[in-house]
Amino acid sequence: MKRKNYTNLKKEVWDTGLCSGCGACVAMCPADAIIFRKEGEFSGPVHTGYCKDENDGVPCGACYAACPRTEEQQIHRMATTGVGRYLRILSARSGFEVQKRQSGGAVTAILASALEEGTIDCIVTIAADPWTHEPAAVLITDREALIAKAGSRYAWWVPLLSALKTAVVTQKKEKLAIIGVPCAISAARIIQSSEHPFLKPYGRAIRLTIGLFCTETFDYEKLIKGKIQSEIGIESWDIDRLDVRGKLILTQHNGAKTEIPLTELQDCVRPGCHVCGDLTAADADISAGAIGSGEGCTTLLIRTPTGDGFVDHAVERGALLIEGETNLKIIERLAGDKAKRLEK
């Protein structure tokens, strides 16, 4: 049987609109031959022409092996719906001040504790420019930078995992935490568990994955420039924060709020989101979101012993406070609503 490489990835995922835009293929390609390109309405991976497998007959297929949307991952993708398996569910908040926190700042608290303790040495996440709100994948290696960049990371589409190559190959980081939306976390799971020789160095470096509850991700150009600036008349520099809680809630620096139904933002959503039924990042060590907890708290679904250990250590150090009740039913209802996308 002919091994699968980027030609299969292109046929099965890129050309069919299934691509999640997670960026795993970019990082895993040993020839640096896959890049993300944005041209007009198109934003996605393209191959630049050289493939070790196709051109030289050197066994590769790393890009295909890491992708969460291939035919080989179809059964898992279709089954990854609902709340998923977990060890315990908590309502929590940060034990210290996080000015730009999203809900309770619990994710920041867990990671700040881990950085201080040395159990992780780098965080792969998304940060937005404070003036334009344009997002980008970033690597964070110290507590102060983490707290400064805290806030909503899930609303934007960014090829997050493309930053893995810089973290592992360039900066030689060995204890990574990844914060991402469900598709990126699914790709990280594949990389962690893979025996592919080009994926194993990355898999060994991934120590913790934190998945963010996600209904869909937005294209920056279409949402900020197309919808918010052109149609609503609010400039990017006047946006204090963006929250997605069943609708997009835009808060300006003067405190004024504008609520936009998600049904009005479908043109701003990445096409690959329409084939995702995973609201709660079921493949993560810890899943986190604002749904299911009271004001000022974060819901944490602790799914693995690894996630359990990181949470316990954060609580022991006083970085994370457990308080309040969780409403599992609302999470189950919204997770069920997203799973219905797969029935279409």
Structural domain contains residue 16: yes
pLDDT of residue 73: 95
Give dist(CA 200, CA 210) in Å, integer: 20
| 91 and 33 Cβ atoms separated by less than 8 Å | no
Burial class, 15, CB count within 10 angstroms (exposed 0-12 / middle 13-18 / buried 19+): exposed
Which of 17, 50, 77 finishes a domain?
Answer: 77
Q: Where are the beta strands (DSSP E) in 48-192?
A: 88-94, 122-128, 135-140, 176-180
- Asked if residue 158 and residue 99 are part of one domain, the reply reads yes
Backbone φ/ψ region at 21: left (φ over 0), alpha (ψ -120 to 50), beta? left
pTM for the full predicted model: 0.92
Q: What is the mean pLDDT of each successive set of 10 residues along the chain, which is 344 residues long?
A: 84 93 95 84 80 83 96 92 95 81 83 95 89 87 82 72 96 96 96 96 97 89 87 89 81 91 87 92 95 92 98 96 94 93 79
Q: Which two tokens stand for residue 279?
A: 């609201």
CATH number at residue 27: 3.30.70.20
Q: Is the dihedral of CA 85, 91, 96, 97 positive or negative?
A: positive
pLDDT of residue 152: 54
Q: Find the domain containing 248 and state its range.
A: 220-268
- Asked if residue 135 and residue 52 are part of one domain, the reply reads no
Q: Is the dihedral of CA 178, 140, 294, 257 positive or negative?
A: negative
Structural domain contains residue 134: yes
- Asked if residue 248 and residue 141 are part of one domain, the reply reads no
pLDDT of residue 327: 95
- Asked if residue 280 and residue 245 are part of one domain, the reply reads no
pLDDT of residue 1: 53
pLDDT of residue 154: 52
